[in-house]
A and B are shown apart, each in its own frame.
Chain A
Amino acid sequence: MAILGFRRATGGAIGVFRARPGPETVNRRRLPARTLPPMFDTRNIRNFSIVAHIDHGKSTLADQLLLQSGAISEREFKEQLLDDLKVERERGITVKARAVAINYELDGQKYEINFIDTPGHVDFHYEVSRSLAACEGALLLVDAFQGVQAQTVANAYAAINADLEVIPVVNKVDLPVTRIPEVLEEIETVVGLDTTNVLKTSGKSGIGVKDCLRAIIERIPAPKGSVDSPLQALVFDSKYDTYRGVITYIRVMEGRVQKGQKIYFMKGGTAHEVLELGQFRPNMVSCDDLSAGQVGYIICGIKELGSVHVGDTVTDYLHRAPQALPGYEVPQQMVFCGMYPVDATDFEHLREELQKMSLNDASFSFAPDTSDALGFGFRCGFLGMLHMEIIQQRLEQEADVDLIQTAPNVTYQIVKTDGEILQVDNPQEVPDVGSIDEFREPIAKVHFILPSDKIGPIMQLSADRRGTYLTTEYLGPNRVQLVYELPLAEIVFDMYDKLKSITQGYGTMNYEVIGFRPADLVKMDILVKGEKVDALAVIVHRTQAERRGRAVCKKLKEEISRHQFEIPLQAALGARVIARETISAVRKDVTAKCYGGDISRKRKLLEKQKEGKKRMKQFGAVEIPQKAFLAVLSTSEDGD
């Protein structure tokens, strides 16, 4: 259990959803006597997730599963077909887990296989843990060249802890250079899985995909639920559709659900009629019923956001399951930032969009917040920086709201002189220095896996970031695992990028928060033209305050354009100014010629200038562009 990392911090409850016939299910009631169409025999169903480190080829292998099972035709094929969000295609990564149902015939027997393609990036681990809860097995892909990486280990443990049958697969075997023997060794020693019958596949060329399907059928157990039990289905995801309302993604554990049935959300406490249900093939295709072991969706025409909760249990309204499924533990957000609509009148619209987004991603949080500088907005929590970027991008793309985002920070603990303990995820909430007894920051245990020749630079980086060295462990002749304790604030923002650049992409990391520790922290205020801009305040370590202060002022000077007047920029700790810059006033800005033919063109040009300014926040007389609010992330004076 060396590298659990994010798992502990996020989905602690995985592994408890396997529907096992326990004492409570013995007490089953019969469904109303109706003639039902024949259903799929539970014994011929297989459910699994594809898990791996980022980029090890999950979505590409998923393409082959779709193709070779005939779920899609060559004509419909496109690379990483399941990555259908705009952000996913733009960035070439999976952000949302995607469930699919395929049919496959093996040795004359027809099977229904439901699988979930999961994201690999650590920030989306919650997607993985939710997916695992809907499955009996997992394919663990390992890149034939890169071998076992930090999230390979984290995801493997997550699946093992969830009691799933884990099938290791060496993927991308078509690569011109592979390290298959070493990779197998790593799977055995680092992950602890037997590789005697290891599968070797390529999602690119399609090699080994048929063997993979056979292994899935032969090695992953069939679901255990009974069609005759009262309905018990796990809500593992949901999304909002403008026309159809909430689409609820379910894995049926017990019983069956049909069109027209009156169902009940056990935690939400609401009852609805099923208007449509179906499977993902991979597009939504409706069917008449879903029974124990199957994965699909139900639509009940629910328009109220907030009435469907991921992790809830769907049961029959009249014949209720004796107990709800345990559901999911709410993951712990790591970074927080403010999100404000550029146009103040968009506040309600933004709230609605955040609600819709949280329906599709239960792992981020939002709460109303106000700022003197930015007005009404929301304080949002995310599992990591990428998660934050993705949500912001999705809000802008899918919801069409212009946002101003403030610099992210972690959650701090402040012990006040009167003994009260505050959880502070917003620098604005830091009380006066006089009433602070102790300022504490979250500490994470970080596991780095990297080529052994890069130990030196990574140790240096960790030392610069106030890290405490714990252990070194050799995973093979050239690969090593370093374990450190580091302040979370020092790692969430750019440690991953730094690690990648130092190790030329070969280093990976995973971390878990282990607690809070006192540190010499201070709130640094930023003053623009003599006035504190609350949304620019940051919490920093005292030893870094001056450097950060200079970097921030410098960055702000670049971001804020010159005005009609001079704008002094200052960074201050309390009343003490520790850095300053000045944006000089515009000296000359006047068009000489303006005759008959110039008027329309010139007016339109100036109108455009004005339009650009509308998208900035007016603070006093100073216009601050959206991007400037992230300037406080600058840590060094050369502007990174």
Chain B
Amino acid sequence: MSTTATAAYVHVPFCRHRCGYCDFTLIAGRDDLVPAYLRGLERELRFHPHDPPTGRTDLKTLFFGGGTPTHPGPADLAKLLQLVRDRFELAENAEVSVEANPLDLTEEKLQVLIDHGVNRISLGVQSFHDDELRQLERDHTAVDLQRIIPVTQRFLPNLSVDLIFGIPGQTLAAWEQSLKQAIHSGATHISTYGLTFESGTAFETRRRRGQLQPTPEDLEREMYALVMEMLPAAGFEQYEISNFARPGFRCQHNEVYWRGDEYHAYGPGAARYLNRRRETNIRSVLGWLAKLDRGLTPVADVDELSPDTQARELIFLGLRRNSGIDRTDFQRRTGWNLEDFAGDIITRQVEFGSLVSDPKGLRLTQAGRFIADRVIAEFL
């Protein structure tokens, strides 16, 4: 059964080096593997049996994530983009996003991006303070940003800025400054992420050894509260836990995930969701490649969602969005009435002040947003 998914994700697993907090699928300092990766990608783009034949689907959103998709040189970058463009047609006004590391962005590369239809860029700024950038082991400085952001905007005005809060040692005032700079940078979209210590990262090891102090919970809460105060006041509407956009500039591709819609995916560690099945590829670049080279599936993990799990997942994802869960939509997609499905949990969480429930749907309150995971877990 081929699907009608109109979103695709492509994972590009290369970075200059691995930042201390990062647990993404990537391989640092192995640019020699780029040609092999491109070969693998070419294969995978035509591998999955359920994917539609070439040229049959018009993608509405296409997202290149990483790693750092802009890390390969201009020629490889062009090739990468072309591979995907050869495989899929784009719908009119399709959103084509690319994640980028500031220092990778040369004018030449930016030109390659727009030549291949890229019309949105998500920049890994993380902070506008050098001490914090060093702490995060990022390779750019505040001065670099002042130069790179305007240049990037000349090519790609639809620019999103990623910021991290809860960096060890970060103060509330410093965070406020970073937010201000992001607001004034002219970005159309801002994503803010609370730093987490993921297992297997250098940060986690240092935290365990007492060398890194995580930000106190109360301060972290204040930082998040500040985001939700400042960005909307500056005209950025919050539409998801971590995402804010000027009107008309939400990330269409990410909305696909949160609506529970289907999407294709390619590349090591990439996850696709088709026919109520979430498949995740082998994370190791070489492992992924080896499978494809032998004509075998690069899928490592399959999560077959039962109707019940799917319904719970819709709640999980829906509650992360500010628009929440629409009752009619929930019923249409799952066959269940939301109230029958989870009425008592809803009542309880409304009592706690974490949820708003009205005839239209269900949403987190501002208070609920701070403890979203806890509220959501109740539904799982």
Contacts and interface: CB of A to CB of B under 8 A. Distances in A.
A588 B380 CA distance: 19
A590 B370 contact: yes
Interface stretch (A124-132, A217-225, A329-337, A594-602): A594-602
B373 interface: yes
Given A588-B221, A592-B242, A609 B377 contact: yes
Given A592-B241, A606-B380, A564 B278 contact: no
A347 to B, nearest CB: 22
Nearest to A586: B371
Interface in B271-325: 271-273, 278, 280, 301, 303, 309, 312-313, 316-317, 320
A588 B369 CA distance: 9
Interface string B354-366: 1000000000000
B72 interface: no
Given A590-B241, A592-B192, A609-B377, A597 B280 contact: yes
Contacts of B257: 594-596, 599
Contact of A588 (B65, B217, B242, B272): B217
A34 interface: no
A590 B316 contact: no
A599 B320 contact: no
Given A564-B352, A596-B271, A621-B348, A590 B380 contact: no
Given A604-B303, A609-B377, A621-B348, 18 more contacts: A564-B352, A586-B217, A586-B371, A588-B371, A589-B370, A590-B194, A590-B224, A590-B370, A591-B373, A592-B242, A594-B317, A594-B320, A595-B254, A597-B265, A599-B278, A606-B380, A610-B380, A621-B352
A599 B280 CA distance: 11
Contacts, number: 104
Contacts of A595: 65, 254, 257
B313 A603 contact: yes
Nearest to A606: B377
| A contact patch SS | loop
A77 interface: no
Interface in A328-362: none
Contact of A596 (B218, B273, B320): B273
Given A587-B218, A590-B370, A600 B380 contact: no
A600 B271 contact: yes
Contacts of B272: 596
A599 B309 CA distance: 12
6 contacts: A587-B220, A590-B369, A597-B265, A599-B313, A600-B303, A607-B380
Shortest beta-carbon contacts, A-B, top 7: A592-B193, A597-B271, A590-B372, A588-B221, A606-B377, A600-B303, A607-B380
A599 B270 contact: no
A594 B224 CA distance: 16
A604 B65 CA distance: 23
Interface in A557-608: 564-565, 586-597, 599-600, 602-604, 606-607
- Size band of the B side of the interface? 35 or more
Nearest to B281: A597
B269 interface: yes
A564 B378 CA distance: 12
A586 B374 contact: yes
B113 to A, nearest CB: 20
A375 B273 CA distance: 43
Given A587-B218, A592-B196, A564 B371 contact: yes
A561 to B, nearest CB: 11
B64 interface: no
Contacts of B352: 564-565, 621
B278 A588 contact: no
B221 A610 contact: no
A590 B376 CA distance: 10
B263 interface: yes
A591 to B, nearest CB: 6
Among A590, A600, A606, A607: residue with most chain B CB under 10 A:
A590
B196 A603 contact: no
Q: How large is the interface on A (under 10, 10 to 19, 20 to 34, 35 or more residues)?
A: 20 to 34
- Interface hub of A592, A600, A606 (most chain B Cβ within 10 A): A592
Interface in B203-237: 217-218, 220-221, 224
Interface string A611-626: 0010000000100000
A600 to B, nearest CB: 4
Contacts of B194: 588, 590, 592
Interface in B161-204: 192-194, 196
Nearest to A604: B303
Nearest to B11: A597
A565 B351 CA distance: 11
Contacts of A596: 9, 257, 263, 265, 270-273
B299 to A, nearest CB: 12
Nearest to A588: B221
A203 to B, nearest CB: 47
A613 B380 CA distance: 11
Contacts of B309: 603
Contact of B317 (A599, A604, A613): A599
Contacts of A588: 194, 217, 220-221, 224, 370-371
A591 B196 contact: yes
Contact of A590 (B258, B263, B278, B371): B371
Contacts of B258: 594
A619 to B, nearest CB: 14
Contacts of A589: 370-374
Contacts of B312: 603
A278 to B, nearest CB: 51
Contacts of B11: 597
Nearest to B263: A596
A80 B230 CA distance: 71
Nearest to A565: B352
A589 B312 CA distance: 19
B196 A590 contact: no
Contacts of B320: 594
A599 B376 CA distance: 13
Contacts of B317: 594, 599
Contacts of A565: 352
Contacts of A609: 377
A87 B269 CA distance: 45
Contacts of B354: 564
A57 to B, nearest CB: 45
